[in-house]
Chains A and B, each alone.
Chain A
Amino acid sequence: MDKKIIPLTALPYNKNAKIVSLHGGHGFQHKLRTIGIREGQRIKIISRQPLRGPITVMVGNCQMTLGRGMAQKIMVEIL
């Protein structure tokens, strides 16, 4: 099976993925983890705003909106 690791921004709609790693500063990673975006969690894209706007994801039971720059630093693997 193809185990390609891609940034969250490249994940197609409605495809389940697993978070593999987080990039960026320590504080930033910490913030992501406390809101539920952590290695091993399943993640799905709900919406993408145009013109490099934010994306909304579903992690666990929780939906959240985050900027593209942040999403770029979340590496996922399509399941």
Chain B
Amino acid sequence: MIKKIVLMGNPNVGKSVVFSRLTGANVITSNYPGTTVDFSKGTMRIDGKKVEIIDAPGTYSLEPTNRAEEVALQMLKEADVVINVVDATNLERNLYLTLQLLEGNTPVVIALNLWDETRHLGIHIDEKKLEQLLGIPVVTTNALTGEGIKKLVSRIKDACVNENIKPTSEEGRWIEIGSIIRKVERVEHRHHTIKDRISEATIKPLTGIPIAFIIIFLSFWVVRLIGENLISFVFEPFFENWYKPLIIKLGNILGPGLLYNLFISQTYGDIDFVESMGILTTGLFVPIGMVLPYIIAFYLMLSILEDSGYLPRLATLVDNVFHKMGMHGHGIIPVFLGLGCNVPGALSTRTLETRKQRFISATLLAIAIPCMAQTAMIFGVLGQHGMYYIGIVVVTLIIIYITAGLILSRTIHGESPEIFLEIPPYRRPSLRAISKKTWMRIRWFLKEAIPFLFLGVFIINILYTAGIIQWLGNTLSPLMETVFGLPGSASIALIIGFLRKDIAVGMLLPLNMNPMQLVIAVTILTIYFPCVATFTVLIKELGIKDMLKSTVIMIGTAVAVGFILRLILPGV
């Protein structure tokens, strides 16, 4: 009986797309190798029976070279049936894993995916012959459009073991593959297409580097444009014209007292969505009214970059710089994902090969990459004083990322191997896929952020009512004042920042600091410590010992940078 089906295949052949098609479950898919770094589980029905399907990270062979590939091997051990997703445009190379799978005793069925792309590339594959030679079912599919998926499902039960394929040497497998390819594949000569030209222009340094700057600049400009417009035309009108009257009414019903303080505002009759610290005011306004618009904008842009296939080209262009920081070009992926949320950023460090690379990448992420929730709040709080101040924060963080990277690369023991990365063809991102992916990430954000924000606001209320905030503010005042030039109460924001960084930035607003003080405060807030969600993932990824080391580096950097900024920024 089939209980567990595992999807196996080389990186970036579309396993996750097949998985979504089979299960209807939502998983993040993109056009670059290493999107899936962990397994996802889903279920589907075959002949009325429930079957578990597992989407494993991609791997080129059954000898793992990084942590994501180790996960894939682990999954294979539990499989009753393997669906081997094969990239039809790179059949020869993909067959290596197929042969290794066939040497085992788990039944295999092949999904010959990206079938439509073979036509444009002038590749002709005789899939019937392939089925005959391999002795297992072969189904051609276009997972992106859903073609062939039904047929694949109907043939899962035909999956079988080929007894004639015996374990052999690496060389033996290649000889076998060569003979299979000669029998099933014919390749026509093909001319240069416009796609090839774009591909070359974006990866050659002379044209690629200016294009990279333009793309990155444009992306952030569009994120800001969409974010700001969503706020001023959708979210602000909603909260001001519709939600505020409702809250005022509710306030009148509640009357002054503890409940009013907790749900609406610390001071009776005065409602300010950012500063009031009520669960229904600040607790909802910060995630939805200030952060969500930027989250929508950011993930829309990120999805387009991911699905087009641009990121591996960017990784190639920045490899030099990242190699000097002890990583390699693929280190740009955790940075991009981390700009949305540090949690997926930290997980994506798994595609780096060595402990040293993962440690540096994760530590730098936690130190210098603010998540979109925090960035949105920085724009909200600091933006009103002028873009100049936001510029100081951004430049400071970039300098920290590079400086800390250069130092860590020289002080952390271990190897940092060179880049070895497949460059996928450009694909036109589909509107449907992009909106689905953006929606999944937004939903994830709301589910993660709102409970923590409520908790944060709740704790602030308790601390405030108990007088702890005032006491802590006074006690830490001399320290904060002398070291960072900040008021003592700013220390409260640092404590709450462990829960959520966005609300912590919001807490700085009522302290009446000047813009330069705000610059120092938000910079320290970024560096000193990750939020609890990221912290938990980092412990899992790095192990407790390395995480402790990383924490010391974070706090040390925060104190040093805060102090230096206080000395060099005028008018603190």
The 0/1 profile, CB within 8 Å of A marked 1, for residues 264-288 of chain B is 0000000000000000000000000
Are A31's CB and B60's CB within 8 A? Answer: yes
Chain A residues near B423 (CB-CB < 8 A): 56, 63-65
Are A62's CB and B419's CB within 8 A? Answer: no
Question: Is B170 on the interface with A (CB-CB < 8 A)?
Answer: yes
Q: Count residues of chain B with CB under 8 A from any CB of chain A.
A: 36
- A58 to B: closest C-beta gap in Å: 9
Are A54's CB and B93's CB within 8 A? Answer: no
The 0/1 profile, CB within 8 Å of A marked 1, for residues 398-433 of chain B is 000000000000000000011111110000000000
Are B61's CB and A34's CB within 8 A? Answer: yes
- A-B pairs under 8 A by CB, number: 99
Question: Is A66 on the interface with B (CB-CB < 8 A)?
Answer: yes
Of A50, A56, A64, most buried by chain B (CB within 10 Å of CB) is A56
Chain B residues near A61 (CB-CB < 8 A): 89-90, 121, 123
Question: Is A46 on the interface with B (CB-CB < 8 A)?
Answer: yes
Instruction: Identify which of B93, B199, B417, B420 contacts A62 (C-beta below 8 A).
Output: B93
Chain A residues near B315 (CB-CB < 8 A): 65
Question: Is A69 on the interface with B (CB-CB < 8 A)?
Answer: yes
Question: Is B131 on the interface with A (CB-CB < 8 A)?
Answer: no
Are B418's CB and A69's CB within 8 A? Answer: yes
Are A35's CB and B205's CB within 8 A? Answer: no
Query: For the complex, what is the distance from the CA of A65 to the CA of B199, rounded to whole Å?
Result: 13
Instruction: Identify which of A30, A46, A66 contacts B61 (C-beta below 8 A).
Output: A30
> Known contacts being A47-B208, A53-B319, is A34 close to B93, with CB within 8 Å?
yes
Are A46's CB and B200's CB within 8 A? Answer: yes
Are B90's CB and A66's CB within 8 A? Answer: no
Query: For the complex, what is the distance from the CA of A64 to the CA of B225, rounded to whole Å?
Result: 35
List CB contacts (< 8 Å) of A25-58 with chain B: 27, 30-31, 33-36, 38, 46-54, 56
Query: For the complex, what is the distance from the CA of A48 to the CA of B316, rounded to whole Å?
Result: 10
Are A49's CB and B93's CB within 8 A? Answer: no
Of all chain B residues, which has the CB nearest A48?
Answer: B205
Chain B residues near A50 (CB-CB < 8 A): 205, 320
Question: Is B443 on the interface with A (CB-CB < 8 A)?
Answer: no
Chain B residues near A56 (CB-CB < 8 A): 203, 316, 423
Instruction: Identify which of A35, A46, A63, A65 contacts B329 (C-beta below 8 A).
Output: A65
- A47 to B: closest C-beta gap in Å: 4
Question: Is A67 on the interface with B (CB-CB < 8 A)?
Answer: yes
Are B320's CB and A65's CB within 8 A? Answer: no
Chain B residues near A38 (CB-CB < 8 A): 174
Of A50, A67, A70, most buried by chain B (CB within 10 Å of CB) is A67
- B375 to A: closest C-beta gap in Å: 30
List CB contacts (< 8 Å) of A1-44 with chain B: 27, 30-31, 33-36, 38
Of all chain B residues, which has the CB nearest A41?
Answer: B92
Chain B residues near A34 (CB-CB < 8 A): 60-61, 93, 96-97
Of B96, B200, B316, B329, most buried by chain A (CB within 10 Å of CB) is B316
Chain B residues near A60 (CB-CB < 8 A): 90, 92-93
Query: For the complex, what is the distance from the CA of A61 to the CA of B65, rounded to whole Å?
Result: 23
Are B203's CB and A47's CB within 8 A? Answer: yes
- Name B's A-contacting residues (CB within 8 A): 60-61, 63, 65, 89-90, 92-93, 96-97, 121, 123, 170, 174, 199-200, 203-205, 208, 312, 315-317, 319-320, 323, 328-329, 417-423
The 7 closest A-B pairs by CB, nearest first: A67-B418, A63-B423, A34-B60, A53-B320, A36-B93, A65-B316, A47-B204
26 sampled A-B residue pairs with Cβ under 8 A: A31-B60, A34-B93, A34-B97, A35-B420, A46-B199, A49-B316, A49-B319, A53-B323, A54-B316, A54-B319, A56-B203, A56-B316, A56-B423, A60-B92, A60-B93, A61-B89, A63-B422, A65-B316, A65-B423, A66-B419, A66-B420, A66-B421, A67-B323, A67-B328, A67-B419, A70-B418
